[in-house]
C-alpha cells in the first residue's frame, strides 16, 4: 500500500513538473527583435533540457539515465536507428507523394543560400532542437513519467508532442517530419532506454527531409 501511494505521488509530481516546464516554455516572454530559432534553442535549453535534468537529480535524486541519458540496455541497440529511420522516411515518402507536403515546407533563407551553411544549420540548430525534444518528450515524459505504461507511453508522448507543436507553432505540413520522427524515436527510446539512439534517428530523419526539400525547391 505504501509503495502504491509513493508511486502515485511520484506520478503526480512528475506530471506537474512536465506541465510547469511546458507552461514556462510557452508563456516566457520573447523578443520580436531576436531570431526565432535562437530563442527556441535558448528556451528549449532552459525548460526542455536543464529543468528535467535538475528535477531528476535534485527532486527524484536519481541518475540521469532515468530520462535516457545513458547507454542502450540492448546489446545491438544501434541497429534500431537505421531500421526506424528507414521506416519513418518511407512514411514521409508516401506523404510527399500523395499530399502537398513540399508546398508548405519552409527552410530558413540563410540555410538555403549555400550548402555549407545548410549543413551548419542542420548540425547545430536542427541537431540541438532535436536533442532537446528527445530529452524532454522521449526522456522526461515517456521514460520517466509514463514509463509504467510500456509501449502505450510511445503514443502518449506522441500525443503530448503533437499538442505542444499545435500550441507553439501550429501543425502544418512543416510539422510532418517532426511528427514522424517523434513517433519512430519513441519506439527506439522504449527499446533501448537511451535517447542518444532516438536522437540519432530523429536527427537523421529531419536532416534527410530538409535535404530533400532543399534540392526539390
Cell match 526539400: residue?
213
d(CA 92, CA 73): 29
**pTM, two decimal places:** 0.93
pLDDT digits (tens, 9 = 90+) for 53-70: 999 999 999 999 999 999
Which residues are CB-neighbours of 61 under 8 A, at least 6 positions away?
A: none
Residues 73/192, Cβ–Cβ less than 8 Å: yes
Q: For 116-147, write each residue's pLDDT tens digit.
A: 999 999 999 999 999 999 999 999 999 999 99
Amino acid at each position: 500500500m505504501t509503495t502504491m501511494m509513493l508511486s502515485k505521488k511520484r506520478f503526480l509530481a512528475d506530471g506537474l513538473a512536465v506541465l510547469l516546464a511546458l507552461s514556462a516554455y510557452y508563456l516566457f516572454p520573447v523578443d520580436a527583435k531576436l531570431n526565432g530559432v535562437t530563442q527556441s534553442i535558448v528556451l528549449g535549453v532552459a525548460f526542455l533540457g536543464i529543468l528535467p535534468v535538475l528535477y531528476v537529480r535534485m527532486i527524484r535524486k536519481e541518475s540521469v539515465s532515468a530520462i535516457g541519458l545513458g547507454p542502450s540496455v540492448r546489446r545491438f541497440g544501434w541497429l534500431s536507428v537505421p531500421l526506424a529511420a528507414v521506416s519513418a522516411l518511407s512514411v514521409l515518402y508516401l506523404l510527399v507523394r500523395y499530399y502537398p507536403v513540399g508546398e508548405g515546407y519552409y527552410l530558413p533563407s540563410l540555410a538555403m543560400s549555400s550548402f555549407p551553411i545548410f549543413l551548419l544549420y542542420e548540425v547545430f540548430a536542427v541537431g540541438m532542437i532535436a536533442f532537446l525534444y528527445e530529452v524532454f518528450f522521449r526522456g522526461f515524459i515517456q521514460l520517466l513519467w509514463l514509463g509504467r505504461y510500456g509501449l502505450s507511453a510511445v503514443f502518449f508522448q506522441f500525443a503530448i508532442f503533437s499538442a505542444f507543436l499545435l500550441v507553439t507553432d501550429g501543425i502544418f505540413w512543416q510539422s510532418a517530419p517532426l511528427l514522424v520522427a517523434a513517433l519512430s524515436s519513441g519506439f527506439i527510446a522504449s527499446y533501448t532506454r537511451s535517447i542518444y539512439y532516438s536522437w540519432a534517428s530523429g536527427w537523421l530523419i529531419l536532416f534527410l527531409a530538409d535535404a530533400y526539400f532543399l534540392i526539390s525547391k
